[in-house]
Amino acid sequence: MLSVLIVEDDHIQRKNLVKMIYEADKNLDIYEAESMEEALNMSKENYINFFYIDIFLKDSSGLDLALELRKMEIYKFTWIIFITTHVKYMLQAFKEIHCYDYIIKPYRKEEIIETTRFLISGRYKYNIKEDKNRYAVFVLQNSISVKLNIDEIFFIEVNLRKVTLHTKKGKYQPKKMSLSKALVIINADNILQSHKSFAVNVKLINKMESISPKLWKISFVNYEENALLSYKFKDAVTEVLKKNI
């Protein structure tokens, strides 16, 4: 699920903007903030796919907020759309912040919907330097965000309601995460649920061994730990595995 953060200190305008963006896609996860501090906190606790930021905020400038976001590695190339009543600030926005676009108040609903649909359509890349790879961003238990290469994930494990991502670069435990939510964030055809407590990267499977009539142990290339495959998910995993051989 893609997420957008709207930063607007006028309550009525912010709520109107939320309604317009929902018309573009009802599946968007929309966050709201009315100040720079609140927006930065939300951006650290959640991964935001793109931002709508008002240039003028009560406690600061939307430009200052954007500059702070650009200092964060995960938002270095994220799309930012400014909302403004003054075009004169936009030259600074494009030069210093590399914003995607700006919308002049009073904005038209059609313009908001069109811009939002373009951003979520997949006709852009968040990071042109990384367009050959696929990434997913997770917020960890210590509230630090980590961007992981999807193809480097061996498997996902759930134990005592805690999710662990087993990757080529180590293990990571996302904050407030379930197996189903992790799969939505990753959104990759090669990572499939294999058991009620596991999801595996089919491309990195080395071997499957039977340990009971309805349970198998999955081992991975150059990784010592194993995942489980249950009878319920065996056919789906096996079918994708055959395609990747």
Q: Tens digit of pLDDT per residue, the chain (245 long)?
A: 789 999 999 999 999 999 999 999 988 999 999 999 999 999 988 889 899 999 888 888 888 999 999 888 888 878 888 888 766 666 666 666 767 677 888 888 998 998 888 888 654 444 333 344 577 778 787 767 777 889 999 999 999 889 999 999 999 999 888 898 888 778 788 999 999 999 999 999 999 999 999 999 999 999 999 999 999 999 999 988 887 76
Could you please report the per-residue DSSP string of the chain? --EEEEE-S-HHHHHHHHHHHHHH-TT-EEEEESSHHHHHHHHHHS--SEEEEESB-SSSBHHHHHHHHHTSGGGSS-EEEEEES-GGGHHHIIIII--SEEEESSPPHHHHHHHHHHHHTT-S-S-GGGTTS-EEEEEBTTS-EEEEEGGGEEEEEEETTEEEEEETTEEE-BSS--HHHHHHHH--TTEEEEETTEEEEGGGEEEEEEEETTEEEEEETTEEEEEEEEHHHHHHHHHHHHHH-
Amino acid at position 222, single letter: N
Region 133-244: CATH code: 2.40.50.1020
| Ramachandran angles phi, psi of 242, nearest 5° | -60, -35
pTM of structure: 0.53
Residues forming CATH 3.40.50.2300 domain(s) in the chain: 3-129
Residues forming CATH 2.40.50.1020 domain(s) in the chain: 133-244
Structural fold of domain 3-129:
Rossmann fold (3.40.50)
